[in-house]
Structure 1
């Protein structure tokens, strides 16, 4: 993976990794240990899982928006380069971060 020059995006990428690991751990523990239906612990686990999924979606959306703004065209043929939206691309990255 390429290092991010934008510290906010790097932080969101790290959060995504950390939250996916926590989600994986919670979901794995639920099947390994088992949980009693309608218990308070099961309700808290479900709330935690929902919160982690929400945070992951938010961070992924921020990273995706950043990549759409800063990504260069992937191909080098003349037709693709001629039709690229160059007005949206800034060589120094997003300056409004």
Structure 2
């Protein structure tokens, strides 16, 4: 995987991976134990809904960043002619993260 120069996007990618794993684990535990109609199931469902909202927020942030910064993958004349090159800036300053 390519490292992100924007620390905010890198954070969102990590959160996305972490939250997807958490949702998967919660759903697996919910169906393994069979708690479909209890109050614990409703709190689990609320936690899953909260995590899914966080996942959607991270996906939106990453998608917006990629629309701004990614170059087109196609190299034929037709696909390159359809790209709005005014939105893409190759000379963006790189942010350095100090640790």
TM-score, normalising length: structure 2: 0.86
Match of 2:5 in 1: 5
Count of residues paired in the alignment: 94
Higher RCO (Cα < 8 Å, 6 or more apart): 2
Q: How does 1:75-86 map to 2 (within 5 A)?
A: 75-86=74-85
Match of 1:44 in 2: 43
**Tell me, which stretches of 5 or more residues in structure 1 are unaligned?**
none
Q: How does 1:3-82 map to 2 (within 5 A)?
A: 3-37=3-37, 39-82=38-81
> C-alpha root-mean-square deviation of aligned residues, in Å?
1.9
CA distance in 2, matches of 1:68, 1:13: 15
**Tell me, which stretches of 5 or more residues in structure 2 are unaligned?**
none
Quick check: 39-48 or 78-87, which moved more?
78-87
CA distance in 2, matches of 1:23, 1:36: 16
Are the structure 2 counterparts of residues 61 and 36 from structure 1 closer, same or farther at C-alpha, using a change threshold of 3 Å? closer
